[in-house]
Structure 1
């Protein structure tokens, strides 16, 4: 009888001399990628506009790109840079680079030119895969570094180049160590203290297993890539969707309207997104109603309860998660009726604690804040070429996140703030998230962010920046009056700035340091509200 995976090249079994180590294979998403290639050849692997490719076609292109990468100097353990928007060629790179034995280093094209050029050198690549549209931004720097470039994307002619090479054998790289990196993901475009998170094969395998379980990814699932693949490997979707035999849908145009249009088509079954992507989908002026349920994982920043409720009303099956790039993206999830607390660790994610300054657990009273610390199989190997930052982050065998949270009686964790964002007003600690939650109760508020202002040396107050839903005419003074019954006097914002938009990072996180700088500009001691213009980046 022929068994799945049988090969005529396997050695003949003799007696019982095999050691346990001989029977183990490394935990890696690549094993499940190879399985998908073998089991689902006729299924649609990628969809980009009207262009689709099957798993058989993806497997063939992957095998040829493995050859091409090796011809360009990629050897086991060396780095391949990827600078590209979400395209089928970018997904191809996520499959081919690790199967060639390399480590993929995706950089977000939304990073500044300066950041891209700096990180291109810091990452020590031996080859770079660059979308044709991104090449003018990094091509000169890569040439200075003498890094060979493979152009990718619709206008690159990559398919013709692949047609001229022989396919490599699709198999796990020889002597693969599950604790070696599969990717290096930079947490931002900063050049001051670069933190390239080394995600191991084991990290990625456990993350993939969690996504398959909690998101119910299956053959035939249709996943919409609304997140940059460079952001935590698309929160692990780059390999998880393939492992499930699902379809990767990439957008020809980026932005909320493209996401809205794709969802209206009715084929999408799964979506991962941050509140920055989702908030425009709930605008009352342009309501979105799904023709079929979409399984949605929300993470990145804490969404308001109203946003989560609106998404549910629109037909999304909402899971609320929490995690960091250092935990290989999402680490906890809340699947119950109470979606605001971020819930419990995912099935295989590991351990999460909320601890006080002395390292002991905080009481499970839903009130006492502490720092989130994490350990488990999704925690990074460390930061690439940054031992000092690695030691600080992994002190005592736990990942110190710098995030503050409270623990509820049932063990669910509720994220409050970064430790640096906690406001000390009149000697009392105030969570900006709690002030924001009150602002979100007002029906006109679309987004709200609270930062510290300093009206005088040694004094601190809360300052709010608010965007409104289209057509809303509320003024800052009205929002202050609305907050007054729900907050103690010391926690009331000193001023509310009404702004057309909030400054954000490439991954959709609000740039609070920009808002803090604006909060300090001409902050008068009396409480009043005036509109200001946000800084654009």
Structure 2
């Protein structure tokens, strides 16, 4: 017998058997699994009454709240496809993507309504307000619960969500994540993160970012507790880690860097299993996190792979700290990850020869919504072409160097910006470092570094450049080190390198500061 693979099946199991366990905590609010099951069943009734049919799209624009998490359960159980948009996107991006996604109904937090309400009205999309300031609780209390069961004729290869990779309006890429994709992702998270009944997961990532890297369904399936924050300020994260019994956390380096500030040391009351991914973390950050009491797993993935695809193992990381800075092996059910040269052949596992990461497996997306050309390019030859450059070490672990577009060519040499950044991160004053291509006085390419410092640090740019000299060949030294208060970032915390490249080109710097 064959039944569809979907994360909804283990989610339903948890809703049925964990009635007495806490499911969601947000501030002073605690919802048990019985409460979550009841709210989900009533939300199904509301969604179906709003006209939601099998395969239709439901827009979600909300910060991390209990109602947003409820939507991740109720929408697919009602047969719909959830399309979460990050509220940190610009108003223009939210409006454009709201139209591109073709929703039949929109779930909008009251705090976001003024930003998108007019656009949704133009599109003729009915709005259901959610959030603490809405009347959703009253509306749920006025309807009868629907049966909590899998949708009829569910197809495991149909989308469960569409996740937009950015807020761009030029070439929108809505990643279609299938039920099968999400099920495999859930299985990997349960295995590698050891999520279990009693686990307490802190939602530091936006749920709109790759469905919280799959945490929206995996934590529920495990019978764990979702802890929601009112915001994502550093003091709120610190407070939750110290007082809320947190056992698990997924986060990007952008979220974690402030937690490792030496001026405000953090010591956890008990170990917290941490999955770090999103961008390349500096080795010093990983070391600080381990010293604070985090059990660090370093992963790699893309929205197109339904979030994290490879991971280090805790045992290996404990044995050799150098291993922790690598992105590791494919997860248990992740599929195949190769690093290939331009001719498509695998590079040798020598830790030196670079190639592009290509991926094939059950976590790879179905395609981009309404973007066949981009889908063909991304999935050419039956592999997902990531655009990420890496080497493979003799132990088989992948080690990312750069995005293909971020590799610098200086005096005929290929230079990895990540390798220059790694040297800058060795300086104790450096909080963040990003290296991009600039122009030197001879109209050639050079490396330009943009650096933020830890509070109270007084180092100058020329001192940081001198610090790099013993560790890099002459051609790889940054021509200039610019000290900045903040780095430009996307809604998900990734640095906008194109903005920094433009700044470097405009200034055409000749000598370091």
- Partner residue in 2 for 1:387: 372
Which one is further off, 329-338 or 483-492?
329-338
SS class of match (2:448): strand
Q: 1:241 aligns with which of 210, 215, 219?
A: 219
Q: Tell me the TM-score normalised to structure 2 length.
A: 0.98
1:290 partnered with 2:274: no
Q: Is this contact kept in 1: 2:271–2:295, CA < 8 A?
A: yes
Deviations 1:398-443 (A, max 9, x none): 0000000000001000011100000011111000000000000111
Q: Is this contact kept in 2: 1:225–1:250, CA < 8 A?
A: yes
1:85 to 1:266, Cα distance in 2 relative to 1, 3 A: closer
Q: 1:54 aligns with which of 19, 28, 32?
A: 32
Aligned equivalents of 2:442, 2:328: Cα separation in 1: 40
Q: Is this contact kept in 2: 1:266–1:291, CA < 8 A?
A: no
Q: Is this contact kept in 2: 1:266–1:292, CA < 8 A?
A: no
Aligned equivalents of 1:509, 1:253: Cα separation in 2: 18
Aligned equivalents of 1:111, 1:276: Cα separation in 2: 17
Aligned equivalents of 1:491, 1:39: Cα separation in 2: 59
Q: Is this contact kept in 2: 1:178–1:201, CA < 8 A?
A: yes
Write the mapping of 1:293-304 to structure 2, written as runs, cut at 5 A: 293-304=271-282
Aligned equivalents of 2:388, 2:445: Cα separation in 1: 21
Aligned equivalents of 1:106, 1:457: Cα separation in 2: 47
Q: Is this contact kept in 2: 1:266–1:290, CA < 8 A?
A: no
Structure 1 gap segments, 5+ residues each: 1-22, 530-537
1:528 partnered with 2:512: yes
Aligned equivalents of 2:447, 2:352: Cα separation in 1: 20
Alpha-carbon offset, residue 244 of structure 1: 0.2
SS class of match (2:218): helix
RMSD: 0.8
1:262 partnered with 2:228: no
- Partner residue in 1 for 2:57: 79
Q: 2:345 aligns with which of 342, 360, 365?
A: 360
Query: Computing the radius of gyration over CA atoms, which structure comes out larger, 1 or 2?
Result: 1
Alpha-carbon offset, residue 455 of structure 1: 2.8
- Partner residue in 2 for 1:455: 440
- Partner residue in 1 for 2:475: 490
SS class of match (1:63): helix
Aligned equivalents of 1:145, 1:388: Cα separation in 2: 26
Aligned equivalents of 1:284, 1:144: Cα separation in 2: 50
Q: Tell me the TM-score normalised to structure 1 length.
A: 0.93
Q: Is this contact kept in 2: 1:455–1:520, CA < 8 A?
A: no
Q: Is this contact kept in 1: 2:439–2:509, CA < 8 A?
A: no
- Partner residue in 2 for 1:344: 329
Aligned equivalents of 2:107, 2:244: Cα separation in 1: 33
Structure 2 gap segments, 5+ residues each: 318-322
Q: 2:400 aligns with which of 415, 423, 426?
A: 415
1:67 partnered with 2:52: no
- Partner residue in 2 for 1:468: 453
Aligned equivalents of 2:215, 2:441: Cα separation in 1: 48
Q: Is this contact kept in 1: 2:300–2:309, CA < 8 A?
A: yes
1:220 partnered with 2:220: no
Deviations 1:148-181 (A, max 9, x none): 1100000101000011111111100000000000
Alpha-carbon offset, residue 365 of structure 1: 1.0
Alpha-carbon offset, residue 522 of structure 1: 2.3
Q: Is this contact kept in 1: 2:20–2:32, CA < 8 A?
A: yes
Segments of 4+ in structure 1 off by > 3 A?
A: none
Aligned equivalents of 2:464, 2:337: Cα separation in 1: 36
Q: Is this contact kept in 1: 2:440–2:479, CA < 8 A?
A: no
- Partner residue in 2 for 1:194: 172
Alpha-carbon offset, residue 458 of structure 1: 5.3
State the aligned residue count.
506
SS class of match (2:433): strand
Q: 1:140 aligns with which of 111, 118, 143?
A: 118
Alpha-carbon offset, residue 243 of structure 1: 0.2
